[in-house]
Amino acid sequence: MRTRQSSTLGTLCYLLAGLLMWGIQFTFVYVVHTLMCRFGAPPSLVSGLVLAITGVAVLVVLAFLVWQKPTARLLGLPADVEDRATYDFIARLMAVLGMAAVIWTGLTAFLLSACA
């Protein structure tokens, strides 16, 4: 038996990273845009902000994909844990799915006027 066990919370965050990012982006754009429109900000500013948030989210997910191994280590997943390849694959696919969702959600800002 190994002495070092993987961190439960860390492993979950690692697996879910991409979708968590989507969740954060979605909450952010929804809240920011509702508040700004409610209090009369110019729609172009709102759209710009939505796109900016989306851009940041995309970058974060990209960074996760590029530095996947170090992130896993940071989150307490030992390199020799059984089925490590499976976790890596799931995390990667989840990130790709999350990224697609982030872009897809953000795209609406290109198509619609923000506060109509």
Start-to-end CA span in the chain (Å): 61
Helix 8-38 × helix 43-66 angle, to 10°: 170
Q: How far is the CB of 3 from another protein (least distance, A)?
A: 11
From residue 96 to residue 115, what is the string marking binding to another protein with x (rule CB under 8 A)?
-x--xx--xx-xxx-xxxxx
Q: How far is the CB of 57 from another protein (least distance, A)?
A: 13
Residue 33 binds to another protein (criterion: CB under 8 A): yes
Residue 23 φ/ψ, nearest 5 degrees: -60, -40
User: Where does this chain touch another protein (CB under 8 A) — which range of 43-51, 55-63, 67-75?
Assistant: 43-51
Q: How far is CA 21 from CA 5, 11, 27, 61, 63, in A?
A: 26, 16, 10, 7, 12
Contact yes or no for 68/92 (Cβ under 8 A): yes
- Considering only residues 13, 24, 37, 56, which one is a binding residue for another protein as defined by CB under 8 A? 37
Contact yes or no for 33/50 (Cβ under 8 A): yes
Q: Which residues bind another protein (CB under 8 A)?
A: 1-2, 5-6, 8, 11, 15-16, 19, 22-23, 26, 29-30, 33-35, 37-39, 46-47, 50, 81-83, 86-87, 89-90, 93-94, 97, 100-101, 104-105, 107-109, 111-116
